[in-house]
Amino acid sequence: MLVVMKPGTVAEEIEKMHKKLGTLKMDVTLVVGEQQSVFALGGDTSKLDLESLQANIQVEKIVRIQQPYKLASRTFHPEDTIVDVRGCKIGGGHIAVIAGPCSVESEEQMIHTAELVKQYGATLLRGGAYKPRSSPYSFQGLGVDGLKMLVKAREATGLPIVTEAMSIETFDAIEESADLIQIGARNMQNFPLLKRAGKSAKPILLKRGLSATLEEFLMSAEYILAGGNANVILCERGIRTFDTYTRNTLDISLIPAVKELSHLPIIVDPSHACGKWSLVEPLAKAAIAVGADGLIIEVHHNPEQALCDGAQSLKPEKFGHLMSSVQKIIAAV
């Protein structure tokens, strides 16, 4: 349930209400907006004396939220959230493009790729140091050494870095280096990891699980928000369907649906969605056309030799081509 205070209610009145709600044995979260402050009440609200709350002249309205997620819902937070990643804004009309290899392979590779994707207009650099691989015999990532290489690439180009955290044990090291911490599809419902992300001061990129419903996806975001971290970016990366021609199926309808239900920014990963480099550009264009706040694209200087996901990686020049066609879609929408 939400208790929405009238615009311009003074801090003293907000504080009084906070104290009053604090006595009700419920979870109370206060969100101070530019115009209005809103209290989100969690737990059993059935016994609440709504009339007495409504009697307070500073209360504009009381809204019962039907969805199980509250902090992630647009009812709770009508304006788009804009997440700031080391000065790069995402959401609320700010479109960001994250590009780079699936995995960090060497310092030279990261610096070289970072320079090229920056030149073509990428605003953030990606690279996995800890890789969630289906086979234990596949390349698992360079770990801490990979994080150091990412930092070197940031130093060389100024691009903020995005990398995945797969476990609580390695979270601190990743948090120290990364500007945006990715929680991958396979960990979307790793609840202890989500709770750890909720305690982080760094923004989180939460990817949709392979077969997660929209509600489950938003509930996972809710874990992070409920932990106190308001900076969550969602990412649609394709889901499992009956078709096997593409690696996954890009659920394009999820983007406008998220926009209706939530204030959180949502970006699209066409690379993992299709698994084939030739389909990445058209899907990227479609994503922007339906209102995505950005893209995350795999780029490799030599895809045939890539240690992970070469088949879906674009060569840098192909990424340049994608950027110029995406720019046209951005201008059109």
Report the interface residues with ligand PEP, using CB under 6 A. Answer: 102, 128, 132, 184-186, 207, 237, 269, 272
| 118, interface contact from Mn ion, ligand PEP, none, CB < 5-8 Å by kind | none
What phi, psi does 161 have (nearest 5°)?
-110, 140
Which range of residues in 109-117, 155-163, 241-249, 308-316 is near Mn ion by CB under 5 A? 308-316
Q: Whose Cβ is closer to ligand PEP: residue 38's or residue 117's?
A: 117
- Sequence length of the chain is 333
Q: Whose Cβ is closer to Mn ion: residue 236's or residue 309's?
A: 309
Q: Whose Cβ is closer to ligand PEP: residue 272's or residue 318's?
A: 272
Q: How far is the CB of 257 from ligand PEP (least distance, A)?
A: 19
Considering the rule CB under 5 A, would residue 102 count as an interface residue with Mn ion? yes
Considering the rule CB under 5 A, would residue 309 count as an interface residue with Mn ion? yes
Q: How far is the CB of 145 from ligand PEP (least distance, A)?
A: 18
Q: Whose Cβ is closer to ligand PEP: residue 218's or residue 296's?
A: 296
Amino acid letter, 221: A
DSSP result, 118-166? HHTT--EEE-BSS---SSTTS----THHHHHHHHHHHHHH---EEEE--
Q: Whose Cβ is closer to ligand PEP: residue 99's or residue 185's?
A: 185
Under a CB-based contact definition with an 8 Å cutoff, are residues 165 and 183 in contact?
A: yes
Helices and strands of the chain, counted as H and E runs: 11, 14
Report the Cα 16 to chain-centroid distance in Å: 35
| 104, interface contact from ligand PEP, Mn ion, none, CB < 5-8 Å by kind | none
Three-state secondary structure string covering 252-310 = CCHHHHHHHHECCCEEECHHHHHCCHHHHHHHHHHHHHCCCCEEEEEECCCHHHCCCCH
**Residue (of 28, 40, 71) closest to 230 by Cα position:** 71
Q: How far is the CB of 298 from ligand PEP (least distance, A)?
A: 7
Q: Whose CB is nearest to ligand PEP?
A: 184
Instruction: Tell me how far apart the alpha carbons of residues 73 and 77 are, in angstroms, rounded to a whole number.
Output: 7
The number of residues that bind Mn ion (CB under 5 A) is 2
Considering the rule CB under 5 A, would residue 179 count as an interface residue with Mn ion? no
Q: Whose Cβ is closer to ligand PEP: residue 3's or residue 267's?
A: 267
| 207, interface contact from Mn ion, ligand PEP, none, CB < 5-8 Å by kind | ligand PEP
How distant, in Å, are the alpha carbons of 34, 142, 268 from that of 63? 19, 49, 32
Q: Helix, strand, or coil here: 180?
A: strand
Residues 6+ apart with CB under 8 A from 210: 185, 186, 239, 240, 248
| 259, interface contact from Mn ion, ligand PEP, none, CB < 5-8 Å by kind | none
Q: How far is the CB of 309 from Mn ion (least distance, A)?
A: 4
Considering the rule CB under 5 A, would residue 326 count as an interface residue with Mn ion? no
Q: How far is the CB of 5 from ligand PEP (least distance, A)?
A: 39
